[in-house]
Every structure is written in C-alpha cells, then in structure tokens.
Chains A and B, each alone.
Chain A
C-alpha cells in the first residue's frame, strides 16, 4: 500500500506568507490528514543581516519551515497540496521534498505543474 508522506521544505524567503500551524490545521481538517510545521532557525545576526553558512551542512539542519503532510490516499494529498501551493507557493528547490516517501514526492512534484504553484 502506498505511503503518502510529504515534507515540503520552505527556505528563507520561499513562502509567500508566514506558515502557521493554526492555518495548516484548518486545511488538514478539511481533508482528514495530518499536517504539522516544524520551524528550524539556525541563523545569526551578523553585519546587519541574518546570516548562515549552509555549505557542507545537512539539508535538514539549515533554516527552513518544513510542512509535513501524511495522507491516507492520493486524492486527499492532492487536495491538501493544492491549497498549500495556492497559499504559500511550492518549494523552490529539487531538495525541497527531501525525506518524503517516493509516492508522496511524485504527487507533490507533479502537482506543482498542474496548479501553477511553481512559477
């Protein structure tokens, strides 16, 4: 049975608006899925800007908001992702789905083209 688990990794400046758990809860409730946001911030204020060295660091450790979606079926996952892309746009990078299951990643990637969230 397919396992639809998707990590959407939004790095600094990527989402169109602040990602809040309460907003995700509303989307999750509509589709009967689990959704959570994990905020990782390893930046330091230096030379007047928030800075971070990311070269040589693990993808999971650098500053990002990670939305995790666990869905029981593809239709629910597609519905959730369409709303997420509409609100925040899609992740920007090829490693923006790192850690997802293969089935989940494929749906997430294909849907970007369908919804226009990848502009």
Chain B
C-alpha cells in the first residue's frame, strides 16, 4: 500500500531531500512536453489562464470561489510531475514556505530558493526559464524576483485570526488577500520592472510559487481541521476544476489525495 506523501517546511528539509527536490525541478525544467515544468507553469497564467482566483460564475449565477480547491488540484498534479523526475530515493513532497516564521521575517525567501547556485550548479529553485512563444510579445527568459522587506511578511497573529473565521467564503476571501500580498511582496520590483511572482501571468514559473501555494493549501487544511473537512458551500461540490478533471468534492480531504503536512519529521 502506498504511503502518504509528506509535505515538509522548506526549512526542515534534509540535505538529501533538498538535493532530490532540486534534481526533480532541474529535470522537469528541461522537459518541454506535458510532463515538464514549463507546461505546468503555463496552466496558471500565460498562455492557458486556467487559474481560479476570486469569485467566478460558471454556467449559472452561482458565485463560486474556487481559489483553494483549484490550487489544491494544481499542486497535486505538479507534485506528481516533479516526483516523476526525481531520484528514486528519497521521494519528497512539495515543501511549504511559512512566511510567518521568524526565519522568513529575517531572511525573506527561504535560503533553499534564494541562492543562485547549489552544488556548483544553477539552483533550479532560484529561477526557471519562461518559454511562452504564443504570448504577445513572446517570452523566453529566466524568471526574476525582487522581494521586499522580510519584516513586512504576514505575521502568525494575522494567520491565526483568519483561522478563527467560521464561514468558508469569509476564510477563503481573507486568506486570498494575504496570498495576494505575498505574491506582490515576492515579485516586488527594481524600480523599472516587477518580478514574476507579482503578476498572475508569469507567477507560476518562479519556483517559490509552488511552496507559497503549498503554505496556502496547508492553511486551508488547518482551517478544515478546525471547522470541518466538508465545510464548504454545498453547491460548489460538483464543480469541475479545469483542466484537471477533479471536482471540488474530490479535493476536500488531503489524505484521500495521498498527502499530509508535517510540522516535524524524524526518521529513526
């Protein structure tokens, strides 16, 4: 029986785990078909624009906020694609970036993602090449990132306050607001142009995108533990999360999806 994938804090990955994660990202970044990094990044914004932010209607007047379910499905597919390209052992899950931590408030983007090289090679968690030939104008360049002052990152108190919200629509709206801030903060600008995390079209190419969203997904999971796994507007349940084929009702339980979040993890 397959065991659950354990998603860990970016700062608690062991050296072998970080090396395996980097190997998976590096390999995926060389693949240009639908197994590769460029394909998955292009689902979010340029050129396919499938991502679901804020509230939309779909074939009805129902105001559907599928921000959290859609990104959960997105991470799931991406994580599987990265693991396909990773070494056999150790198999790692996507790590989550806790931007409320003392470390983040000191250094900002986690060290694993902010160093340009690792082991004498370009760090695939630092940047990735955007290849979007159908964009206007076409894009073919590496991602850029100009993060802001680490002290401005969201606090644990602000996250705890939103975990106490009892209505799903209320919770997802406020969590998305914090998510929006982190995107703008991480992308930032150099005075003449912004970083890629700061714009929806290119954000998913920045490797830190996936760990930012992993933390968002983790916070939803923590909220679910507190307020109920099935605590979501009922008429959202049958809605399909394009292009993944999963419905909202399929992504409510992370254990049913084959993963879990660990605060600490010790192997004896």
Query: Do chains A and B stick together as partners?
Result: no
